[in-house]
């Protein structure tokens, strides 16, 4: 049972465009939603995260949009750069006190110069 669903599996955009990566979840106890990125041959690293008290979180060119009613959240990468090419994982964690993280299957992003 996939706790967190992520789409698309792969995405190609031109340099300067906005890349949009989507995730959804079912469990209403989830209340922390991080995004990790992973460059080839590297380990995943935290990029940005949101809690549902907000519906938007920005950090430079990276923005999370969160829709609690529809149980969806997305990562928007504005002005995409070739250096953004990586695999992006969304995740969710419940408010049960201990940190179980459920990851999506990942989106492989390619930014073409």
Partner 1 sequence: DMKVTQMPRYLIKRMGENVLLECGQDMSHETMYWYRQDPGLGLQLIYISYDVDSNSEGDIPKGYRVSRKKREHFSLILDSAKTNQTSVYFCASSLGTGTTNERLFFGHGTKLSVL
Number of residues that bind partner 1 (CB under 8 A): 26
Residues 21-80 close enough to bind partner 1 by CB under 8 A: 31-32, 34, 36, 42-46, 49, 51
Q: Which stretch binds partner 1 (CB under 8 A): 12-20, 64-72, 75-83, 100-108?
A: 100-108
Minimum CB–partner distance for residue 93 and partner 1 (Å) = 6
Q: What angle do CA 85, 41, 8 make, to 5 degrees?
A: 40
Going by C-beta distance under 8 Å and a sequence separation of 6 or more, which residues neighbour residue 90? 4, 6, 21, 23, 33, 34, 35, 73, 75, 103, 104
Minimum CB–partner distance for residue 29 and partner 1 (Å) = 10
Residues that bind partner 1 (CB under 8 A): 6, 9, 31-32, 34, 36, 42-46, 49, 51, 89, 93, 95, 97-106
């Amino acid at each position: 049972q996939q706790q967190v669903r992520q789409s698309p599996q792969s995405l190609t955009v031109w340099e300067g465009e906005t890349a949009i990566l989507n995730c959804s979840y079912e469990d209403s106890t989830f209340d922390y939603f991080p995004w990790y990125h992973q460059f080839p041959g590297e380990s995943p690293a935290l990029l940005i995260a949101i809690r549902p008290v907000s519906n938007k979180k920005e950090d430079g060119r990276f923005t999370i949009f969160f829709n609690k009613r529809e149980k969806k959240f997305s990562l928007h990468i504005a002005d995409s750069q070739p250096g953004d090419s990586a695999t992006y994982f969304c995740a969710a964690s419940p408010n049960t006190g201990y940190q179980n993280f459920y990851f999506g299957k990942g989106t492989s992003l390619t930014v073409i110069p």
